[in-house]
Amino acid sequence: MASSQSHLDLVQLLIVVVMTMTMLVGGGEALSLDYYAKSCPKAEAAVAAAVKQAMAKDRTVPAGLLRLHFHDCFVRGCDGSVLLDSSGNMSAEKDGPPNASLHAFYVIDNAKAAVEALCPGVVSCADILALAARDAVAMSGGPSWQVPVGRRDGRVSLASETTTALPGPTASFDQLKQAFHGRGMSTKDLVVLSGGHTLGFAHCSSFQNRIQPQGVDPALHPSFAATLRRSCPPNNTARSAGSSLDPTSSAFDNFYYRMLLSGRGLLSSDEALLTHPKTRAQVTLYAASQPAFFRDFVDSMLRMSSLNNVAGEVRANCRRVN
């Protein structure tokens, strides 16, 4: 039985790799593991060094990079459009309401500068962001994986698109499912990638709806709800107030799922995963098995990071088009 299961796991892995390697991006090019093998062989090492340096000074960097990558891919595909600054009358994605708390842009700037010094005009900002997100997970104790590269940077970034493309912290299960299915991703991907909430912090505004004075969300464990209300009282004016997404917010692990099952999931969108039998079963699986979560997280990240539908450019500066 164990031998048959191992064979099945190998077959599934090969299928994922083949799907990823053949995923077409804008302009008809396929992502490839050796895309920069000759043109910029030290690019990945340069990105990893920039991430490591930033993490040594700021433990919130991994959560910031992972969230940047998610928010980039869910609007126009993984094209680096979230990195563009607003200019003139154009309000860019990073200034859209769902992206107000995005950070760690400077890490991508530093990585881009390092890569440009090695091989000018070769490596896209979108690829650098995908690599940095992988490094952020791996350097936080999570899994690592090979990132297929060859993305191009988009030239369009609109704040108005973020409110419809990005599911918010109060999203229902149906809204979350629609957001993922609309990008060719599955309900399983939804549960797996929600596990990225094992890293990071949420401000009071993201979960205030669950601790209203007129009533606390009954799905919250009473002691956890009390803790949240102390951190975020009704008259709170501290912009930095909030809560970690799980107690080990600097470590990539499966604690998020364990907290969720115990009534200590922070966001309504987290709690929504328990409202459907299939997704609740997945949450239960990942709470019990960190290796299962890590394996499936890699698969889902490969699928998400292959979303790209632009025939773009390679920006010299990640904050503006050429």
Catalytic residues: 71
> Is residue 160 annotated as involved in ligand binding?
no
| Residues belonging to the chain | 322
Query: Which residue pairs, CB below 8 angstroms and at least 24 apart, start in 170-176?
Result: 170/209, 170/267, 170/268, 170/269, 171/268, 171/269, 171/272, 172/268, 172/272, 173/272, 173/273, 173/275, 173/276, 173/279, 176/269, 176/272
> Is residue 253 annotated as involved in ligand binding?
yes
> Is residue 93 annotated as involved in ligand binding?
yes
> Is residue 270 annotated as involved in ligand binding?
no
Say how far apart CA 111 and CA 106 lie, in whole Å.
Answer: 9
The strand pairing partners of 90, in sequence order, are 87
Q: What are phi and psi of 77, to 5 degrees?
A: 80, 175
**Is residue 37 exposed (0-12), middle (13-18) or buried (19+ Cβ within 10 Å)?**
exposed
> Is residue 314 annotated as involved in ligand binding?
no
Say how far apart CA 222 and CA 224 lie, in whole Å.
Answer: 5
Say how far apart CA 133 and CA 12 lie, in whole Å.
Answer: 24
> Is residue 81 annotated as involved in ligand binding?
yes
DSSP letters along 67-114, please? Answer: HHHHHHHTTTBSSSGGGPPPBTTBPPGGGSGGGTT---HHHHHHHHHH
> Is residue 75 annotated as involved in ligand binding?
yes
* Binding site per annotation, positions: 72, 75, 77, 79, 81, 93, 167, 197-198, 246, 253
* Binding site per annotation, positions for heme b: 197
* Binding site per annotation, positions for Ca(2+): 72, 75, 77, 79, 81, 93, 198, 246, 253
